[in-house]
C-alpha cells in the first residue's frame, strides 16, 4: 500500500489531434513503464478504431513510477480520457478521479472548443491545471500567441506555461516535475468504509466487466463482498489491481490509488460509470456525488441489408451492449426497410463508432436511417409520449405541445467568422447566449440550439463556413417546446416511413423542396416514372419526378455465348438486392440519408 503523499493522479485534457496520446506515450517511455521495444504509437488507445481515427474512446488508467529530481519515487496514475462531446459524462467522471490535469494545447492551433469545455469540467472538479504548449517542434508553432490564449482561459501568467514536444520529449521532464510539485496528493480517509468511483468500464468476454476505479476512501480487498450503491448490486471482488499498462493484480487497493476491479458480472449496466462501490457490510453511507443515468440523445434505425442477418444483428447488439452501457436499442419494423433496430446513442460520433464496430467486428452489412433526436410530446389528454422515431410522431390533432432537446453550444472561432457563424446559428434556430473574447483575435460564441439541428449538418456547415477554423463543443441543457411538424416523403404515392422527419414548421416547405430534389438525384431512373412528394399530413408541399429510363438492355449476344450474358444478368440481379424495394420503387441505401446532404445543395 503506497503512501498517499507519494501518489499523483492526473489526466490530460486536449482537443483532438493536439497530441494527448503522443504525450502519454512519452510519459510511459520516460518512466520506463514500457520498454522502447514494446513501444508503439498511441499505446493507450487499444481499440483498432481508436488508432485509425486517432481518437480515444475508452478511458485508460495506467500506473507509472517516477523518480523525481528530489530522489523520491512517486506513483503516478495517468488517466487518459475520451475528449469528444459525446462522452462528456465519462470525461467528467474521469476528471473526478484525479487531483490534477495537464492542459495540452497545440502551439500552432491554439485553444479549441473542446479544450475550453474540458478545462471548465476540470476547474469544476477542483483540479490543479498544468498548462502545456505542445508541438513546439512544428514550424507553424506560435507559442506566444497561444500562450496568451491559454493564459486568458485559465487566468495564469503566460510565463508559467510549459513549452513541450510530445514527439521529441522536449520539456516533458519539467512537466513530470511540475506534477510532483503542483498536483496535490489524494487525501482520502483510509480508515473509513471504502468508497471507489467507477470512472469507466469495459467488457472482457472471458472475465466479464472490468470496472476502472479510483479509491476515494478506505481499502478494497480481493475476495471482499461489495455493493454498487446506485445499481444496488451485490458482488464479490474476484480480482483487483492496476494497469502497468497491462493488468497487474494486487491484494488490495487503498484510498488514493487507481486501478481496476473484476467481479465476474457480465452485465456492464450493473457496474455503471459514476457509481460508487463500497463494502456490502458496514459500507459507506454516502455515495460519491455526480452519478447520473446515461441518456441516449441521438437515434437512428439500423437495418441489416440482408434480411437473413437479423438474428446475427441482434446477437451483435447484445454483445456490444455488454461493452457499452450507453448503447440503447429496441426492435423497429419499417415498411420500407424491414426488421431492424432503433438505436440510441450519446451523439453522432458514438453512433458512427457503434455502426462501424457492428460492421467491422461482427461482419454485418447495415444501412442506417437519418439520425434524429428524441422528442417529448404532450398530448391534449395530458399523456406524455417519448418519440424516438419521426414516423412514430402521433397525429397532430391530439398534440398539445412538442418539446425537443436543446444544447448550449460554445463555438471558438477567429473573429473574422463571427458574422457567418451568427448567420448559421440563426438559420439553425439558435438563440444567442453572448460572446467573449479569448484573445484579440479569437472569440467564444455561445448559442442555445436545438440538438436536432446539430444532428443534421451543423458541424459540417460550421467547418465549411469557417474553413475549418471554428471548433464546437456543447452541453445538453434540456427540453424546450417548439412548433414542430412531421414531414413525410411519398414515393410513387406511398409514404415511406424511413424517410419521415420532424422539422420546424417554418422550415418545412424549404426542407421538403430540397429533400425531394435530393431524392430525385439519388434514386436511379426506373421502368416507370417515380413521383417523389413531400407532405405534411395530407398537404403536398413539394414534388419531383424521377423520369423512367428508356433503355436498359445489354443487347449484344453474338454467337452462342449465352452463359456470359446470363451471368451478366445474374450480377445485375445481385446489384438490385443492394437496393431496397419500397413498393415498386428501388431505392439505393444512400437515399435514406439524403437529408444529411441538404445543406450542400443550399450552399451551391
**Residue closest to 456 by CA, chosen among 400, 514, 525:** 514
Residue 560 as a binder of another protein (CB under 8 A): the answer is yes
Residue 565 as a binder of another protein (CB under 8 A): the answer is yes
Residue 434 as a binder of another protein (CB under 8 A): the answer is no
C-alpha cell at 269: 449496466
Q: Which of 168, 572, 581, 603 lies at the binding interface for another protein (CB under 8 A)? A: 572
CA distance readout (Å), 30 to 33, 42, 396, 453 = 8, 15, 64, 45
Q: State which residue, 5 or 527, has the beta carbon closest to another protein.
A: 527
What length does the chain have?
604
Q: How far is the CB of 89 from another protein (least distance, A)?
A: 51
Q: How far is the CB of 42 from another protein (least distance, A)?
A: 41
Residue 574 as a binder of another protein (CB under 8 A): the answer is no
Q: How far is the CB of 335 from another protein (least distance, A)?
A: 20
Name the burial class of residue 596, with classes exposed (0-12), middle (13-18) and buried (19+) by CB atoms within 10 angstroms of its CB.
middle
Q: How far is the CB of 579 from another protein (least distance, A)?
A: 12
Q: State which residue, 319 or 525, has the beta carbon closest to another protein.
A: 525
Q: State which residue, 385 or 579, has the beta carbon closest to another protein.
A: 579
Name the burial class of residue 286, with classes exposed (0-12), middle (13-18) and buried (19+) by CB atoms within 10 angstroms of its CB.
exposed
Q: State which residue, 463 or 525, has the beta carbon closest to another protein.
A: 525
Window 369 to 408, contacts with another protein (CB under 8 A): none
Residue 554 as a binder of another protein (CB under 8 A): the answer is yes
Q: State which residue, 467 or 550, has the beta carbon closest to another protein.
A: 550
C-alpha cell at 225: 463482498
**Residues 6 or more apart in contact with residue 504 via CB below 8 angstroms:** 429, 450, 482, 483, 484, 485
List phi, psi (to 5°) of 356.
-65, -40
Name the burial class of residue 543, with classes exposed (0-12), middle (13-18) and buried (19+) by CB atoms within 10 angstroms of its CB.
middle
Q: How far is the CB of 563 from another protein (least distance, A)?
A: 5
Q: How far apart are CA 359 and CA 382, in angstroms?
A: 42
Stretch in the footprint of another protein (CB under 8 A) among 100-108, 197-205, 414-422, 569-577: 569-577
Per-residue binding string, another protein, 498-537, x by CB under 8 A, is -----------------------------xx---------
- Nearest-5° Cα angle at 182, 195 to 146: 115
Q: Which of 282, 467, 555, 604 lies at the binding interface for another protein (CB under 8 A)? A: 555
Q: Which of 552, 578, 602, 603 lies at the binding interface for another protein (CB under 8 A)? A: 552
Q: How far apart are CA 192 and CA 408, in angstroms?
A: 40
Stretch in the footprint of another protein (CB under 8 A) among 216-224, 319-327, 508-516, 549-557: 549-557
Residue 40 as a binder of another protein (CB under 8 A): the answer is no
* 3-state secondary structure at position 142: coil
**Residues 6 or more apart in contact with residue 50 via CB below 8 angstroms:** 42, 56, 57, 58
Binding site for another protein (CB under 8 A): 527-528, 549-567, 569-570, 572-573, 576
Amino acid at each position: 500500500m503506497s503512501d498517499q503523499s507519494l501518489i499523483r493522479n492526473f489526466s490530460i485534457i486536449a482537443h483532438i489531434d493536439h497530441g494527448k496520446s503522443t504525450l502519454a506515450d512519452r510519459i510511459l517511455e520516460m518512466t520506463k513503464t514500457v520498454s522502447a521495444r514494446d513501444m508503439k504509437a498511441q499505446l493507450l488507445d487499444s481499440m483498432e478504431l481508436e488508432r485509425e481515427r486517432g481518437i480515444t474512446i475508452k478511458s485508460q488508467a495506467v500506473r507509472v513510477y517516477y523518480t523525481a529530481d528530489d530522489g523520491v519515487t512517486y506513483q503516478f496514475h495517468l488517466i487518459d480520457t475520451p475528449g469528444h462531446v459525446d462522452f462528456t459524462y465519462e470525461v467528467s467522471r474521469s476528471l473526478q478521479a484525479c487531483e490534477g490535469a495537464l492542459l495540452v494545447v497545440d502551439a500552432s492551433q491554439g485553444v479549441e472548443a473542446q479544450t475550453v469545455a474540458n478545462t471548465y469540467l476540470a476547474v469544476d472538479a477542483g483540479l490543479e491545471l498544468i498548462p502545456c504548449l505542445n508541438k513546439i517542434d512544428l514550424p507553424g508553432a506560435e507559442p506566444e500567441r497561444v500562450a496568451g490564449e491559454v493564459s486568458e482561459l485559465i487566468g495564469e501568467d503566460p510565463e508559467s506555461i510549459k513549452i513541450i514536444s510530445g514527439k521529441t520529449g522536449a520539456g516533458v521532464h519539467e512537466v513530470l516535475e511540475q506534477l510532483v510539485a503542483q498536483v496535490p496528493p489524494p487525501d482520502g480517509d483510509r480508515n473509513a468504509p471504502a468508497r471507489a468511483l467507477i470512472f469507466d468500464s469495459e467488457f472482457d468476454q472471458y472475465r466479464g466487466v472490468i470496472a476502472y476505479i479510483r479509491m476515494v476512501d478506505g481499502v478494497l480487498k480481493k475476495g471482499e463482498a461489495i455493493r454498487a450503491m446506485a445499481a444496488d448490486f451485490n458482488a464479490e471482488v474476484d480480482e483487483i489491481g492496476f494497469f502497468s499498462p497491462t493488468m497487474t493484480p494486487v491484494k488490495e487497493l487503498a484510498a488514493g490509488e487507481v486501478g481496476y476491479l473484476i467481479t465476474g458480472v457480465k452485465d456492464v449496466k450493473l457496474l455503471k460509470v459514476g457509481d460508487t462501490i463500497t463494502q456490502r457490510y458496514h459500507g459507506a453511507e454516502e455515495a460519491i456525488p455526480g452519478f447520473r443515468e446515461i441518456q441516449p440523445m441521438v437515434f437512428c434505425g439500423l437495418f441489416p441489408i440482408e434480411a437473413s442477418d437479423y438474428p446475427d444483428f441482434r446477437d451483435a447488439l447484445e454483445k456490444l451492449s455488454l461493452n457499452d452501457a450507453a448503447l440503447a436499442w429496441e426492435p423497429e419494423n419499417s415498411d420500407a426497410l424491414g426488421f431492424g433496430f432503433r438505436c440510441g446513442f450519446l451523439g453522432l460520433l458514438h453512433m458512427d463508432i457503434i455502426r462501424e464496430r457492428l460492421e467491422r467486428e461482427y461482419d454485418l452489412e447495415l444501412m442506417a436511417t437519418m439520425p434524429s433526436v428524441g422528442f417529448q410530446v404532450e398530448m391534449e389528454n395530458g399523456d406524455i409520449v417519448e418519440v424516438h422515431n419521426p414516423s412514430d410522431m402521433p397525429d397532430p390533432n391530439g398534440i398539445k405541445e412538442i418539446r425537443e432537446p436543446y444544447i448550449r453550444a460554445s463555438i471558438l472561432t477567429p473573429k473574422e467568422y463571427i458574422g457567418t457563424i451568427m448567420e448559421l446559428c440563426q438559420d439553425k434556430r439558435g438563440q444567442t447566449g453572448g460572446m467573449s473574447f479569448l484573445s484579440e483575435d479569437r472569440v467564444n460564441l455561445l448559442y442555445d440550439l436545438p440538438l436536432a439541428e446539430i444532428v443534421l449538418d451543423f458541424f459540417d456547415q460550421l467547418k465549411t463556413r469557417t474553413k475549418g477554423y471554428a471548433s464546437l463543443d456543447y452541453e445538453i441543457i434540456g427540453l424546450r417546446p417548439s412548433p414542430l411538424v412531421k414531414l413525410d416523403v411519398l414515393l410513387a404515392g406511398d409514404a415511406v416511413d424511413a424517410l419521415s422527419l420532424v422539422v420546424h414548421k417554418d422550415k418545412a416547405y424549404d426542407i421538403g423542396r430540397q429533400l425531394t430534389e435530393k431524392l430525385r438525384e439519388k434514386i436511379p431512373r426506373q421502368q416507370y416514372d417515380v413521383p417523389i412528394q413531400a407532405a405534411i399530413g395530407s398537404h403536398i408541399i413539394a414534388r419531383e419526378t424521377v423520369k423512367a429510363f428508356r433503355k436498359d438492355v445489354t443487347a449484344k449476344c453474338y454467337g452462342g455465348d449465352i452463359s456470359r450474358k446470363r451471368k451478366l444478368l445474374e450480377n445485375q440481379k445481385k446489384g438490385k438486392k443492394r437496393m431496397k424495394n419500397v413498393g415498386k420503387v428501388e431505392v439505393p441505401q444512400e437515399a435514406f440519408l439524403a437529408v444529411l446532404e441538404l445543406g450542400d445543395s443550399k450552399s451551391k
